[in-house]
Amino acid sequence: MPSKIAIYNLVAGHLGQDEVLSFPAIGPLGDAIAMFWETARENTLRANTWHCARTRVTLAPTAVPPAFGYTNAFNLPGDFVRIVQVSISGFGDFRDYVREGRQLLSNFAPLNLVYVYDLKEVDYFDADLAMAFSLMIAGLAAEKVTGDGDLGQRLIQQFHDKYDDAAQADGMEDPPLQFAEDDWINARWNASYGPVAAGYQ
């Protein structure tokens, strides 16, 4: 498992700096890493469904339902970062919900939530998360440490190319709306009458 000094040395390697031999690091590199540490950690956790940062919980509905549209509201855990999966008993994948702020709204209850949590201890990072985190820090810190803004942009792009699946995160937190069928739709597509019965496809 990586340590803080291991993360510092990964960042140093990305930026072409000397090895860090003690912690906390001093000088421009140490100052820049400390400055961007939390921002980089939060962005990195948000970017992927890291196995080492997953946990699960069953959510009960709140006492106050949504004003309209859904029958149940569920408060997200305090350490929530992003959704991995929402399900209900008997169904492995479930899309009848939407995220609004720090809540999930749904017509079903309870909800089973697998999510990425706000993992702060780098000792529990796996190798992929440690490398991704170091790339993000290095990208943010590059100009301050080396004066080379282009290097920072390249490192951030490398991070996005290899690790970022934010589009999937957006899809999980705002799944496709499921519209209830109305009489017109049923009439149009029912084989006993409507266009299908008349020979139209």
Condensed to tens digits (0 to 9), the pLDDT of residues 33-78 reads 999 999 999 999 999 999 999 999 999 999 999 999 999 999 999 9
Tokens (6 digits) for 15: 């930026």
Tens-digit pLDDT profile for residues 13-39: 999 999 998 877 789 999 999 999 999
pLDDT, tens only, 87-100 = 998 776 778 999 99
Round to whole Å and give the CA distance between 16 and 147: 12
Place of tokens 């290095």: 138
**Cβ atoms < 10 Å from Cβ of 54:** 14
Name the token pair of 9: 């040395």
Interatomic CA distance for residues 12 and 134, integer angstroms: 9
Q: What is the pLDDT, as a whole number, of residue 47?
A: 96
Q: 21 or 173: whose pLDDT is higher? A: 21
The whole-number average pLDDT for the span 184-194 is: 43
Quote the mean pLDDT of the chain. 86
User: d(Cα 94, Cα 116) in Å, to the nearest integer?
Assistant: 18
DSSP secondary structure code for residue 197 in this structure:
T
Residue 200 in this model has a pLDDT that exceeds 90: no
CA–CA distance, 40 with 45 (Å, rounded to integer): 9
What digits encode the pLDDT tens for the residues 124-160?
Answer: 999 999 999 999 999 999 999 999 999 999 999 999 9
Quickly count: other Cβ atoms within 10 Å of residue 195's Cβ: 12
